[in-house]
Amino acid sequence: MTKLNKVLMASTAIAFATGLAIPASAQDPAAAPGVVSSQKKVKIRLYGQISRMFGIVGDGETTTFKQGENGNSSTRMGIDGRGKITNDISLRTRMEYAVQSGDNDGGSQFENQGGSANRFTIRHLDVILSSKKFGAVWIGRGDTATNGSSEVSLAPGISSAHLGGTLTNLGGSYHVLDDDEDLAVRDRGEVGSFFDSFDGAGRQNRIRYDTPTFFGFKAAASIIDKHNYDVALWYKGKIAGTELAGAAGFCHTEGSESAGDGACWGNGTTINGITQFNGSVSVLTPIGLGATFSGAHQRRELQGAGHSAFNDTTYNLQPSIWYTMKATELGATTFEYAFQYCKECGEMDTKGMAHALNVVQRIDSVGGDYFVTARYYDVEDTAGDDIDGLWFVGGGFIQRF
């Protein structure tokens, strides 16, 4: 066990012990006092969620039951501290980490990951200064200006089950097989190597600035370690009773030379430089019918090509249509069909098409999203070989606390 894991486990135990030492209401857990703070004017809050998925995956040869992490939104825990410096300026501190049992969303269909690769990963180590007049400054590790800009959605709970496309998305670690059973090696790689949501620069060590919100619009920019940067424009508002939300992002990085992770760093490949445009928009009508679109275009400089010669491009398109209603007192029920097309999102001359049907039930009283899903992935690699389609039928949940 690494020193980081030991420290995080110890801090978690101390934080929970502090909370348990305070008498709670036997009638209503929500009536229990909050976690105490060493600073009288700073309010401390513990928060987190358990995120899991399970189901049957078929790769053209076998069908296998899998249960593991729901990579669309990881199991996590955080400690949030907030206080006011002046009437206008507030201070926030945040430490948040993900807890993974198994590898990403449970590993491939060929392995049992339940007893291995258990670890903590840092999501946020932030100090945030906010002002209604002047905006906000973020210092530390956390969301860059563009993180989340490909995933804007007004559909309740869909983030628990969206189609996604990176290795940490649901289904991304499953492997596709060549349909020629006479081949010695039929494995053509992970589904996630054919798809990507290109969701900005991810979470990094950075200094970020957000403007105040004007008429629903907010701009943001980050200076990221080792002369990388990104900028984004966000919007949320209502026009004639129709809700509208969206974001547009631009990031430029030194790729694998910058020790970053995520789409704008080439996902750990030998790509040296990235210039990327991405964004998403979501619309919800008064009758509950909605639509979401996400797209991206990326220019990639491959190793040895020279810093000014971008010799590869890729793009991603992901539309979805959905309907949400509140059929019961539990919360919103949402039905969605999503499609994704990814051209050269992994190696050159590869493409992937994916379909997903989702039904998500939100439970407002306890902060839970529970879903069932059916998905199909159809991919092609550089060799032009026939690859078996991969399907997944199952469900999952995010239960917050």
Q: What is the pLDDT of residue 162?
A: 59
- ∠ CA 48-112-55, rounded to 5°: 65
Q: What is the pLDDT of residue 193?
A: 79
Q: What is the pLDDT of residue 168?
A: 45
Q: What is the pLDDT of residue 141?
A: 95
Q: 371 to each of 87, 322, 360, 361, how far by Cα in Å?
A: 42, 14, 4, 6
Q: What is the pLDDT of residue 217?
A: 97
Q: What is the pLDDT of residue 341?
A: 92
Q: What is the pLDDT of residue 5?
A: 55
**CATH architecture classification, 52-72+144-400:** Beta Barrel (2.40)
In tens digits, the chain (401 residues) has pLDDT values of 555 555 455 555 544 444 444 444 445 555 555 666 677 788 999 999 998 888 899 888 888 888 877 767 788 999 999 999 999 999 999 999 988 776 555 566 666 655 556 778 899 999 999 999 999 999 999 999 999 999 999 998 877 555 554 444 666 678 887 777 767 667 777 887 788 888 889 899 999 999 999 999 999 999 998 889 999 999 999 999 999 999 999 999 886 666 666 778 776 666 778 899 999 999 999 999 999 999 999 887 776 544 444 457 888 899 999 999 998 999 999 999 999 998 887 667 788 899 999 999 999 999 999 999 999 999 887 666 688 888 999 998 999 99
- ∠ CA 229-120-207, rounded to 5°: 20
Task: Give the phi and the psi of residue 5 in degrees, each rounded to 5.
Answer: -60, -40
- The domain locations on the chain are 52-72+144-400
Q: What is the pLDDT of residue 166?
A: 47
